[in-house]
Structure 1
Amino acid sequence: MNTYTDIPFAKGHGTGNDFLILDDPHGRLRLNTADVTRLCSRREGLGADGLLRLVRTTAHPDASTMSRQAEWFMDYRNADGSEGSMCGNGARLVGRYLVVAGHYRPGRLALATRAGVRDVHVPADPDADVSVAMGRPTLPGPADITVTAGEGCWPALHVDVGNPHAVVVVDDLAHPGTLGDAPAVAPASAYPHGTTVEFVHDLGSGHLVVRVHERGVGETPSCGTGACAAVAAVRHHGPQSAGPSCYAVDFPGGRLRVDVDAHGSMTLSGPAHLTALGTLVPRDVRGSGIARTAAAHA
């Protein structure tokens, strides 16, 4: 990691799905896999399910073509250091941070991601839900996907929400077991870079309960894109025209809401809380210890 100066950071979560945000407007940080895994480590770093580096679109090669649509780019990394294209809870938390940090006023803002530009709405009330327009999920195939976890094996549906998902509908969320290891997905060629897996129990009347094993992370308390993928799968398996347009999606970490418009485009809403603000100290400046927290908020 670079040693040019202390690096502003924030930590927060959406329904228990927690992230680190690094404020790097000029794109000077060069984060390698070891940097990301150390920062996200719950023993050696600050601990998080993922890392969100904020860079101005004009300063990042992956975002330069979106600079006329959005000022900021969300460079998303999974906890294992791998790149991610989209993160629903992360986008909502970044929206909250951009307002708290004074980069935007409350209201609607455009955020560039590797999956495209997403509109985020951040109310002035710091306790109000933050929403992000997720677009329309696609079900690109391939067919005949299976997921094995615990002692069970189920057919799965491939859903793309800007990132890949394999969604399994189950009768009991206990059936997949502990999810300590990544579920086995077949055929291997379906997801050459891995996938996030959702186990969904449909309670009816627009109410879903979900467990998720995130690619590059493990089982997490919640997943924003996973909520949208779960809704897409349930609608695919049932009569869409008769289905509700608003879904409550419960995870172990809390509830997210997914609204579906007449064209199938989804809006994800839920809480987004910042819990700490501070500065990272480069490792070779302080020797041991990768960061110190300057301020925390309960």
Structure 2
Amino acid sequence: MKFIKAHATENDFVVLIDVDDHNDVTPDQVAFLCDRRAGVGGDGLLRVVRRDGTWFMDYRNADGSVAEMCGNGIRAFAHVLVAEGLEDAREFYVDTRAGVKHIRVLSADSTDAVVAVGMGAVEVTGVSTASMGDHQFAGLGVNVGNPHLACVIPGLTAAGLADMNFVAPTFDPEFFPEGTNVEVLTELRDGQTHMRVWERGVGETRSCGTGTVAAAQAVLADAGVEHGTVTVNVPGGAVEVELNEGQATMTGPSTIVFRGELSS
């Protein structure tokens, strides 16, 4: 089976081309392929499938668990469709376990792309807390097709965030019965925030696309602003998130690193 290694703001993926949906993968196979020492290496795996005339992104976390949606992953997915000649249009739809997403490929070649994704509705689910080592945070519960706890820390600087000892968080299992992603954020300043994220089923990653949407929602709410556009800076780069009337659009880069073929 052909595969592609891709990343979107350094959130990296093994992408399997399985248009005819003949090669489902087990959790153990996913974990092996995502292993950075024994496999290809990645934060997750994307399987490119065509079902009932619509593209479907089958996304798995690095531990093999099934995930509803990945915002960075869907940019890489769309890039692969165009770069590999599987999709001629520059505007199309991709189905996910979190619903159908509207895609606009703003630019693309065999290695680099810029993709805008209609992320759909953003739902604020309440306020909760998390602990990370010696730190305790209050944050906004946000559903972007998957769960997030986005924590804006008063007075936190970008340098302070970078120096923070980032470890596996604990959170309220009653508030998040399926687990959650946890974002730690600086306050909104000049239309920007800085973010680090601990992803459910993965650990800390260089970026999380749905997390940047949750981050934008949280920093705007913290600033008392209902709508707006936020540049979310992550260790792997930056994306732009526009929130308007409860709907989010995320725009950011994708890079194809290399192509290969699995022997078995």
Both structures adopt the same fold (TM-score exceeding 0.5): yes
Q: Does 1:178 pair with 2:172?
A: no
How far the C-alpha of 1:46 sits from its partner, in A, is 0.3
Query: Aligned residue for 1:266?
Result: 248
Q: Does 1:235 pair with 2:220?
A: yes
8 Å contact 1:106–1:124 — kept in the other structure? no
d(CA) in 1 for partners of 2:216, 2:161: 20
1:242-265 Cα deviation digits (max 9, x unpaired): x6x22111001111111223x131
How far the C-alpha of 1:175 sits from its partner, in A, is 8.7
d(CA) in 2 for partners of 1:210, 1:280: 35
Q: Runs of 5+ in structure 1 lacking a partner?
A: 1-6, 59-66, 283-298
**TM-score (structure 1 length as normaliser):** 0.82
Change over 3 Å in CA distance of 1:157–1:209 after alignment to 2: same
8 Å contact 2:188–2:219 — kept in the other structure? no
Runs of 4+ in 1 over 3 A off after TM superposition: 173-177
Change over 3 Å in CA distance of 1:197–1:42 after alignment to 2: same
8 Å contact 2:49–2:55 — kept in the other structure? yes
1:179-230 Cα deviation digits (max 9, x unpaired): 2x320112x1222221110001024121000000011111111111010000
Query: Aligned residue for 2:174?
Result: 189
Query: Aligned residue for 1:57?
Result: 51
Query: Aligned residue for 2:71?
Result: 88
Q: Does 1:20 pair with 2:14?
A: yes
Q: Give, as a single letter, the amino acid of the residue that structure 1 aligns with 2:191.
A: G
Of Structure 1 and Structure 2, the greater strand share is in: 2
Query: Aligned residue for 1:11?
Result: 5
Query: Aligned residue for 1:198?
Result: 183
How far the C-alpha of 1:37 sits from its partner, in A, is 0.6
d(CA) in 2 for partners of 1:209, 1:196: 16
8 Å contact 1:167–1:229 — kept in the other structure? yes
Q: Identity over aligned residues, as a percent?
A: 40
* Number of residues of Structure 1 aligned to a counterpart in Structure 2: 258
Determine helix, strand or coil for the equivalent of 1:190. coil
d(CA) in 1 for partners of 2:107, 2:62: 30
- The structure with more radius of gyration: 1
Q: CA RMSD in A?
A: 1.7
d(CA) in 2 for partners of 1:36, 1:125: 27
Query: Aligned residue for 2:151?
Result: 168
1:264-285 Cα deviation digits (max 9, x unpaired): 3111111101111111111xxx
d(CA) in 2 for partners of 1:140, 1:177: 27
Q: Runs of 5+ in structure 2 lacking a partner?
A: none
Query: Aligned residue for 2:237?
Result: 254
Range with greater deviation from structure 2 (207-216 or 21-30) = 21-30
1:80-100 Cα deviation digits (max 9, x unpaired): 111110111100110000001
8 Å contact 1:13–1:274 — kept in the other structure? yes
How far the C-alpha of 1:134 sits from its partner, in A, is 0.5
Q: Does 1:212 pair with 2:197?
A: yes
8 Å contact 2:148–2:180 — kept in the other structure? yes
d(CA) in 2 for partners of 1:228, 1:80: 23
Give 1:78's match in structure 2, choosing from 31, 43, 61: 61
Determine helix, strand or coil for the equivalent of 1:209. strand
8 Å contact 1:110–1:118 — kept in the other structure? yes
Query: Aligned residue for 1:41?
Result: 35
How far the C-alpha of 1:125 sits from its partner, in A, is 4.0
Q: Give, as a single letter, the amino acid of the residue that structure 2 aligns with 1:49.
A: D
d(CA) in 2 for partners of 1:9, 1:34: 17
Pairs within 5 Å for 1:123-162? 123-126=106-109, 127-141=112-126, 143=127, 145-162=128-145
Q: Give, as a single letter, the amino acid of the residue that structure 1 aligns with 2:217.
A: A
